[in-house]
Amino acid sequence: MSFKKMTLKTYPLLLFFAVEFIMSSCANKAGDKGSSSIGDSTEYQETPDNKKNIVLPKKTFGVFDNEGGQDSSPSSSSTEKSKVILKQHTSAIEIPVMLKNVPNFILKRYAYTMSYNKSTRCPNWVAWKLTGNHTYGSYKRKNYNFHEDMDVPSPRAKLHDYSYNGLGLERGHMCPAGDNKWSDRAMDECHLLSNICPQYGKLNGGAWKYLEEDCRDWAEAYNCIYIVCGPIFYGKTHGTTIGEDKIAVPDAFFKVILRLGNKPQALGFIYPNRKCSGGKSKYVMSVDKVEEIVGMDFFSSLDDNVENKVEQSSNLNLWR
């Protein structure tokens, strides 16, 4: 067969494969954009630090409605096909297990994972891994704006909900901007209003801010820490709300912190949603105590012996 004849016969085939390749590449790029629920393809971004001290999880999340975010009791009928069971990522030591039946819509962001509560319009919890090399960077908070999270069900928080309220409430980050200076995408996503709770300014700019700074110091000192935080609502009903979308005002905030390594340690904190004076020692407590108050099981993927030991301690002197 001559080269000319072979070229004429094979040209359509080559063109077909070229078009297929281009379409496939475009689809893959489109899939890389944006955030996703934990069941989608977006994965936790591994760093060399992430691969140390990883253990397999023992528990799974509860069952929830993947579209509406409505949590369901684990005893719900297995025939409800709109329900799915979400398993923890094997590397996500920071992901807690909810022990209460509340709306529980899970979203995986670039730098953190969160459980969103459509009744309070606030997160139930926000969890992330903070490494030493994520405590600094060139992306500054002043260059980013708060924005509505279109991934959570409506009604949801909007910018005008946090307009002047006469109560001294501000937009309080759960996963803070200071932990996200390492990435443009991470900094942008931490300004989603689903990562925000109404927080009194004297707490937001005071004791809570100082604890965030301490966490960054600990991440640098120990190379890596795991953090979970969120709002606390003590009553069965959420009495105070702000804005047209009725964002519930938390009574308090919790934060639990874990470090691994040769001598694992953990700390828990609860701060009332008001001006808090007296330093960290006034608000520190064991992780066990925080679990009892908020109805969650933290760091459950740890070996039981390690988990039980670290969650009983509240010794600040063990944290340099």
Q: pLDDT digit string (tens) for 116-175?
A: 999 999 999 999 999 999 999 999 999 999 999 999 999 999 999 998 788 899 999 999
Asked if residue 180 lies in contact with residue 111, where contact means CB atoms within 8 angstroms, the answer is yes
Close Cβ partners of 149 (under 8 Å, ≥ 6 residues apart): 156, 157, 192, 193, 194, 195
- Token pair 């801010």 is at which residue? 209
DSSP three-state, residue 231: strand
Q: Please list the alpha-helical segments (H only) found in 190-319.
A: 201-202, 208-222, 287-294, 304-310
Q: pLDDT at position 283, please? A: 98
173 catalytic residue (yes or no): yes
Tell me how far apart the alpha carbons of residues 19 and 202 are, in angstroms, rounded to a whole number. 59
Per domain, the residue ranges of the chain are 1-33, 37-318
CA-nearest of 177, 202, 215 to 272 is 202
Q: pLDDT at position 188, please? A: 98
- Name the average pLDDT for the chain: 79
Which residue in the list 89, 134, 173, 191 is annotated as catalytic?
Answer: 173
| HSE-up of residue 179 (Cα within 13 Å, Cβ side) | 30
CATH class, domain 37-318, is: alpha beta
Q: pLDDT at position 292, please? A: 98
Q: Is the pTM of this model over 0.85?
A: no
Residues (pLDDT < 50) of the chain are: 1-90
Asked if residue 132 lies in contact with residue 216, where contact means CB atoms within 8 angstroms, the answer is no
Q: What is the pLDDT of residues 198-227, one digit of tens each?
A: 999 999 999 999 999 999 999 999 999 999
Q: pLDDT at position 235, please? A: 86
Q: pLDDT at position 125, please? A: 98
CA-nearest of 108, 128, 124, 116 to 153 is 116
